[in-house]
Structure 1
Amino acid sequence: MPAKIKNNVLMYEGCNYLRYRLLLSTLSCKPVRITDIRAGDDDPGLREYEISFIRLLDKVTNGTRIELNETGTSLYYNPGLLVGGDLEHDCSLQRGIGYYLEGIMALAPFCKIPMNIKLRGITNNALDPSVDRIKASAIPLVKRFLAGDNSIELIISKRGVAPMGGGEVKFLCPINKNLKTIQFQNSGMVKRIRGIACSVRVSPAIANRMVESAKGVLLNFLPDIYIHTDQSRGASSGKSPGFGISLTAETTTEVFLSGEAFSPLMTTGSLPCVPEDLGKEAALKLLDEIHRNGCVDSPFQSMAALFMALGKKDVSKITVGPLTQTMIQFLRDLRDFFGTVFKIEHVKEEEDDTLTTQEQILLTCVGIGYTNISRRVL
């Protein structure tokens, strides 16, 4: 069901997909009002991590107007111009840095000044894409769309895990006048697997145990596997103990697919987390992602759809695996804010294809010719 429009303001209800709607509002310069945010909960209104994200949007833009009622159940957001520049932000410890970084990556190419932002908080957790996954899978995807200078960098200065955080990353992105249209339909064959096993304030042997476990699964399919161990010590190790592993498969057509696992938050009643189980879990998640057979890593489907819609007035095509629930709703919201409609069709498999992969979906759309209006002309 499309959004209601009242006095040129898009009206939504509920807390779901709040982050994506604020991003689309910022890019389209259309105000949005979101009501009934957890109105029926014992603890109604916006959560701390959502307020932190709104503050981050306020830092990145100039002239943004935000109105919040006393209970936090109603939000009015009227976006300003994207500025960017040198920024710092302390992310909420309820979510990972990846939650905030995904939003920044969508806005950074359209800022007035090249983005140079330092984010502090939790670099790895079990809920959000880790900074390692974003560095390995999302950044190569964004580079495909950027015209001219596409020297995006993500520097992991410190690692931090829940509950105390202490991690720090630096993200640098140049500005672009507009985006390219791309034809990205062949996912190719996996040629190598790389990864990183990180351990923070725990025994260095734990990282090696995760590596051996992951290799035990993956070496049945491919010999070219190298997993680096990152044992953070001292000032670069954050404030809490934890460990995890992130694996990335690269195909012959430069598609990057990832799978990862991280130790859950240790509480008094929680079951012990075994490093070997985490290594195996990450390897199986990577194999599942490869089985989905898309050209885009699943968590970043919506980012690909956004850049396709904002591209030049030409046809873009991308093949993805089964659409995630987030992606389905994001396509509806794209139609509300930009009027862009995607053609979705199933890719027919060749008769001689013996691979048993999931059915691919071809997304086709014509870009709106979005131009960076904040960029200096001279």
Structure 2
Amino acid sequence: MGKTTYMRLKGSQNLRQRLLLSTLSSTPIIIEDIRPDDTWPGVRPHEVSLLRLIEKICDDCVVEINETGTKLKYKPGIVMGGRQLVHDCGVSRSIGYFLEPLIVLGLFGKKPLSIRLKGITNDSKDPCIDTFRSTTLPMLKRFGVPPEGLELKIESRGAPPHGGGEVVLSIPILQNSLTAVTWIDEGMVKRIRGVTFSTRVSVQFENTMLHAARGIFNRLLPDVHIFTDHRAGPQAGKSPGYGISLVAETTSGCFISADTAVSYARGEEEGEIEDEKEELMPPEDIGEQIASVLLGEIEQGGVVDSTHQGLLFLLCALCPQDVSKVRVGKLSPYGIETLRHIRDFLGVKFVIKPDPSTETVILKCVGCGLKNLSRKIS
């Protein structure tokens, strides 16, 4: 065996992406200076949980963290997938944080993946479960991911700070590789769908959010349906909360989403310690606010909303050695970071061309041609 060469990185930002790309490209990494000057230095609980999750679905991966948690050594293994896996995501970040890397890794596994994730299903930091169902999974189908076996079931909801939600994610494996896309027509919005949720609060909260959001959309288009998902008992998790996820579907089959959730603060983040008895934002304001956010995302143009830019670029970069071409609105900071990481790990560079007439950006790249080599050849 030759000596392993590690790619050296610094800082705590975008740890998820670094781990994901390191695994896909089989590049061992060492990350140093992880929050060395913080009151609590080193890796956070949700980052450790993500490493444990990667260990569950991969064989032979090696994770070493030093005593202070400021240095992480990661040597990727083979993505195995597997059925009936269970992972507790903890309550420091929601399940949405874990889903994006998990979905991409699952596609390149040896066996299809089916995993039960426990924790927080809806919060204001990460995309909520409903957005993954309505927007992220349909986006994968564009790239040739088989729709059979691709699903996300919500067994119970969980709001911060105590969570208690459970979802079951099923991801099929790619038979060979993804399909390159030319996806630059965002079309016109033809309908708006959405879902409001509430746990351990009155169902009236949902109706108020729903009417407030519809009040804005109905002036613009007639086809607006927002469903309610009120949970009670064990299905409502352990904390009170409510929220809304909206999706605009366009004539060319794009899904643009926006979501938020309101609950009592977790309280352990410094500078954000809030009193348990604080007033939560009224549901009416939330409905109006998220409707405006969605209109803002639509106005920006592009085939995906700003939260999905990173995933879109990643899927383009993993395509066969063929040209993919996509249109997005203003590049989000996360999207820009993703482009840098793709260049470093996969060697894929995007040609970025602003389109002044629509104020959007067109990106082109030739994929790295990642194939699913770990699947069983029948």
- TM-score, normalising length: structure 2: 0.94
Question: Shift of the alpha carbon at 1:233?
Answer: 1.1
Supply the distance in 1 between the matched residues of 2:22 and 2:280 (Cα, whole angstroms).
43
Deviation of 1:198 after TM superposition, in Å, equals 0.5
Supply the AA of the counterpart residue of 2:235. Answer: S
Give runs of aligned pairs for residues 76-225 of structure 1, distance below 5 A: 76-86=73-83, 87-148=85-146, 151-176=149-174, 177-225=176-224
Letter in 2 for 1:366: V
Q: Hey, what's the Cα distance between the residues in 2 that align with 1:159 and 1:364?
A: 39
Structure 2 counterparts to residues 366-377 of structure 1, below 5 A: 366-377=366-377
Deviations 1:327-372, CA, capped at 9 Å, x for gaps: 11111111111111000001242xxxxxxx6x11111001121111
Greater shift in the superposed pair: 18-27 or 304-313: 304-313
Aligned to 2:271: none
Distance in 2 (CA, whole Å) between partners of 1:265 and 1:149 is 37
What residue is the counterpart of 1:17 in the other structure? 14
User: How many angstroms does 1:264 deviate by?
Assistant: 3.7
Distance change >3 Å, CA 148–CA 260, structure 1 → 2: closer
Compute the displacement of 1:272 (Å). Answer: 3.2
Where do residues 152-301 of structure 1 align in structure 2 (5 Å cutoff)?
152-176=150-174, 177-265=176-264, 267-268=275-276, 270-301=278-309
In 2, Cα distance between equivalents of 1:363 and 1:294 = 11
State yes or no: 1:306 paired with 2:314.
yes
Cα distance per residue 1:172-218 (max 9 Å; x no partner): 11111210001100000000001001110111111001101111111
Q: How many residues align?
A: 365
Structure 1 residue 268 displacement after superposition: 3.0
1:1-12 correspondence to structure 2 within 5 Å: 8-12=5-9
Q: Distance in 1 between matches of 2:331 and 2:149?
A: 29
Tell whether the 8 Å contact from 1:261 to 1:281 is kept in structure 2 after alignment: no
Give the letter aligned to residue 96 of structure 1: S
TM-score, normalised by the number of residues in structure 1: 0.94
For residues 89 and 289 of structure 1, the distance between their equivalents in structure 2, rounded to whole angstroms, comes to 33
Query: What is the distance in 1 between the residues matched to 2:53 and 2:38?
Result: 26
Once the two structures are overlaid, the 10-residue window that deviates more, 178-187 or 8-17, is 8-17
Query: Which secondary structure state, in structure 1, belongs to the residue aligned with residue 70 of structure 2?
Result: coil
TM-superposed CA distance for 1:312, in Å, is: 1.1
Distance in 1, matches of 2:42 and 2:350, equals 33
User: Alpha-carbon deviation of 1:270?
Assistant: 2.6
Give the secondary-structure state (helix, strand or coil) at the position aligned to 2:92: coil
CA contact (8 A) 1:187 1:251 kept: yes
Report the alpha carbon displacement of residue 243 of structure 1 after superposing the two structures with TM: 0.4
Unaligned stretches of 5+ residues in structure 2: 266-274
Aligned 8 A contact 1:66 1:76 in 2? yes
Displacement, 1:271?
A: 3.1
Task: Write the distance in 2 (CA, Å) between the matches of 1:306 and 1:275.
Answer: 35
Q: Write out per-residue CA displacement over residues 94-126 of structure 1, whole angstroms, 9 at most, x where no aligned residue.
A: 111000011111111100000101101000001
Are the counterparts in 1 of residues 264 and 280 from structure 2 also a CA contact under 8 Å? no
CA change 1:149–1:197 in 2 (3 A) is closer
CA distance in 2, matches of 1:148, 1:324: 29
Structure-2 separation of matches of 1:92 and 1:239: 13
Residue aligned with 2:122, SS? coil
What is the deviation of 1:278?
A: 0.7
Contact residue 261 and residue 279 of structure 1 kept, 8 A: no
User: By how many angstroms is 1:220 displaced?
Assistant: 1.7
Distance 1:7 1:62, change over 3 A: closer
- The alignment partner of 1:113 has SS state of coil
TM-fit CA distance, 1:51:
0.4
Q: Compute the displacement of 1:222 (Å).
A: 1.1
Aligned partners of 1:98 and 1:123 also within 8 Å: yes
Partner of 2:269: none
Say what the alpha-carbon RMSD is for the aligned residues: 1.4
Cα distance in 1, alignment partners of residues 296 and 356 from structure 2: 21
Q: Which runs of 5+ in 1 are unaligned?
A: 1-5, 350-356
Aligned position for 1:347: 355
| 1:12-67 Cα deviation digits (max 9, x unpaired) | 11100111000000000000110000001111001101100010011110000011
For residue 263 of structure 1, give the secondary structure of its aligned residue in structure 2. strand
